[in-house]
Structure 1
Amino acid sequence: MKRVLLTGGGTAGHVTPNLALLPALKEKGYQVEYIGSYEGIEKQLIEKAGIPYHGISTGKLRRYFSLKNLTDPFRVLKGYGEAKKLVKAYRPDVLFSKGGFVAVPVVFAARKYHIPIVIHESDMTPGLANRLCIPKADKVCCNFPETMKHLPEEKAVLSGSPIRRELLQGERLAGLKFTGLSANRPVLLMMGGSLGSAIINENLRKILPDLLKDFQVIHLCGKGKTVPGLKLDGYVQYEYISKELKDLMAAADIVLSRAGANSICEFLALHKPNILIPLSAAASRGDQILNAKSFEKQGYSYVIEEERLNEETLLSGIRKVYAERRKYISAMENSKLNDGVQVVSGLLEGFCENGR
C-alpha cells in the first residue's frame, strides 16, 4: 500500500487543505498519517478525521526579540530528531506539507531520507517556514499567479487551494431553514474568522438599520463577540459555525470577510461575490493585503482597506458588489483555480507511483 505523510499546523489554515485532500487520497487507497505539534489545533482536527497522528516538539523562529528565542531552537532540534524517527519508521512514498513551523523539521527529516516533498504556499509571498522548506521541496504549489515569480521555476505549480469537498455540497434551503431567513430577500454572510474581527463586527452592526432594508444578514461574529439581546428581523448572529457552514455558504448571495488565503479560495470555488477587508499591515506581515489585491485584480473580489473602513464605505461596497454580482460570478467561473484537490492529489499520486 502506498503511504502519504501529511504535515502542517499552528492555525486551522495550515490544516484544512490537508483535510480537503483526505477523501481523494482515501479513494486512491493510500495509507495516510500526520505529523503535527503535541497539542496544536491540528491534533484535534486530524484525530477527529480518524487519521493516525504523531506529535513532535516545535519552536517558532521570530524576527523580534523574545526570551523564547533562546529556548525554541532546542525545541526545533528535538522536533527534528523526533521527525526523523517517525519518517524512518513510516517510510512514506511522499510528504505533503501545508506549512507552519511544525512542518520545518518534518520537511528536513523527509529530505534526509530522500522522500519526495510537495509543499503548498497559501499566501502571495511565502512565509518564513515555507521559505526554509522550499529548497528541500520537489514541487511548490501556490494560489496566486503572482507567487510564481517568488518560486524556483522548475518547482512552481499554480494549483489553487485544496477545497473541502463538503463545502461544495451545501444546500441553500437547508441554510435558510437553519437560520430562519427568507428565500425572498438576498443574504449577506459575514465571516471574520474563528476569533472574529472587532472592527468589521462594529461597522456591520452600525449599518444594520439601513442594510436590513434590502438584505438579510448571517453574522459569524467570532468567539465571545455576539451581542446578547440583539434581535432584528432578517438578522442572525453566531459565534462560530462548523457543520452547517456549507449550507450557510450556499444560502449566501454575497460574502463579507477578511482575506485569509484559504477562505477566499473557498469563495472562488463556490463562485461567491465577496467584499474583502484584509488585516492591516500593522497587525500582520501584510499577506492578506496582497491576497486581496490579487483577487481584486483578477475580478473576483471588491476590497476595502481596513484604514478606509467605515459605515459609508462598507454599506456602499456591499450594495455595489450585489448590484454587479454577475460580473464577479462570471470572472470566478472562468478561473482555472477551482480544483486544487485534483492538482495536488495528482502530484502526490505521481510521486507515489513513480518516485522522484
Structure 2
Amino acid sequence: MRKTTVGATAVAATLIASLALASGGTATATTASGQGLRQTSLPVAVDPAADLTANPDRLNESWYVTAHVTAGGHHYGFLAHYLSAGDAKQGQASSAVSITDEDTGWYTKSEIVRPPRTGLSDKQGVDIHTDNITWTGDTKEQKLHAKVPEGTIDVTFRPQGNVLYNMGTGYIPMFGEAKYPNYEYAFPTMDTSGTLTLNGRTEKVRGESWLDRQWGPLPNIAAGEASWSWMNLNLSNGDKVSLWTTKESKKNTWATVLKPDGTQTVAEATITPDSSTLWTSPHTGKKYPTRWKVTIPGEHAKLNVKLYAKDQELVTPGPRYEGSAAVNGTYDHRPVTGATYVELTAGQ
C-alpha cells in the first residue's frame, strides 16, 4: 500500500471505478469537495519490475522514454518509443526516435513500421531490438542505443526514487470507460548519461529521463473515434506530473502527481490549448497547438507550456505529435519551471 490522495468528486468517481476493477472487488476512497485533498490508501494494480517484460497476451504494448539532457553546450530533448498495436492480422509495430535541439529548434527523427511484436522477446525486463532502437535492462539499469539519420544516442538509464502509478493504482479506465482497461506506470526520474553523436561529432550526455510503460485495449484512434492529450511534467520543485485529457463520448482530464517524498495525488486538472498558436504540418496537413495553459487547482498550479520547436510530428503508423516543451508558471503559489513532452493524437 502507498500513501495517495484524491481530489474532487469527478476524479474520485473514476478512481473508485478503477480500484474496483484493479482489485477485483469493491473499493472506497475518501474525497473532498472543490480543491481539497484527503489521504487514502490504494492497492497497486501493476508490478513495475515484472511488467517491464513484453507479454504476448496484450494487444497493445508501449515502452516510451523521453529525456531532457545537455550535450556539447546545447540542451536536447530526445524520445524513443516502441509500440505494438493490434493482432497478427491487423496490427503493426512502430519504432520511433526523435531529437530536438531545445536551443535552436533543430529536429530530426527516425520512424519504422513492422509487423506486430517485431523486435520483442520474452526476456525479463526491457528487451527491444529494431532497426533504430536497441533497448535492454531492468529497474536498476537500462541501455539504449537509438539511431536517427544524422547519428546515434548511446545512453544508460538508472531509475531513481519512486514509481509513479497513474490514477494512483496503475490502472486507468481509458476514456472513462471500463471497456478500455489500461495499465500505466512510470519511472519519472532516471539518471541519464552517455553520448550523443550527430554528423560525426560525439558529445557527452548528462540529464534525466522519464520511462512510461502502458498497455491495454483502445478504440481506433487513427479513424478519429477518440483522441487524447498527454504531458509528463518535470517540475523544478521536484514534483512529477502525468497529465491526461481523453475524449471519446465524453471528455476526462486528470493529473497524477508524484511528490518527492513518494506521496501520490490524483487531482482534477485542465489543459487548454492556445488556438491562436496552431501549427499546420506540411507533412500531413494536421493542425496542432504549440502552447497550452495547464491548471491543477488542488495543487494551486497555473502553468504555461510552450514547444521548443513546431515541427515535431511523427507520421507513422498514424499522425501524432511528440514534442519537447518548456514549462513555467506558479505551483503552490510559488514560481516554478520545468520541461515536458507533449503527446497529441491526430484527432485533436
TM range (shorter): under 0.3
Which structure has the larger Rg? 1
TM-score (norm 2): 0.25
The structure carrying a bigger helix percent of its residues is 1
